[in-house]
């Protein structure tokens, strides 16, 4: 009897923990999404080609994106 009562009383807390884990998983998936960074690189290149930004700005932003991409790849290698 006490096990059923424990389950009923702990259910809201367990649900909050489960939701928190799912939110964390979704955030990590988005944070480590290489395709998003690759898209940013393509868009950046297009802006440069259409003279919407200077080459100096392009190189600065490209460097930042590449650093993030390299970091993601290192994190994935470490997790593998």
pTM check: above 0.85: no
- Give me the residue spans of the domains in the chain: 1-31, 33-80
Rg, Å, the chain Cα set = 22
DSSP assigned state of 38: H
The residue whose two tokens read 């600065």 is: 60
pLDDT at 18: 86
Confidence tier at 60 by pLDDT (50, 70, 90): very high
User: Which residues are CB-contacts of 38 (< 8 A; sequence separation ≥ 6)?
Assistant: 69
80: pLDDT strictly greater than 60: no
């Amino acid at each position: 009897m006490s096990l059923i009562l424990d389950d009923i009383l702990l259910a809201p807390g367990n649900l909050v923990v489960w939701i928190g884990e799912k939110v964390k998983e979704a955030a990590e998936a988005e944070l480590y999404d290489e395709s998003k960074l690759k898209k940013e690189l393509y868009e950046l290149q297009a802006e440069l080609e259409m003279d919407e930004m200077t080459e100096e700005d392009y190189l600065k932003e490209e460097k930042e994106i590449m650093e993030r991409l390299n970091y993601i790849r290192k994190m994935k290698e470490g997790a593998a």
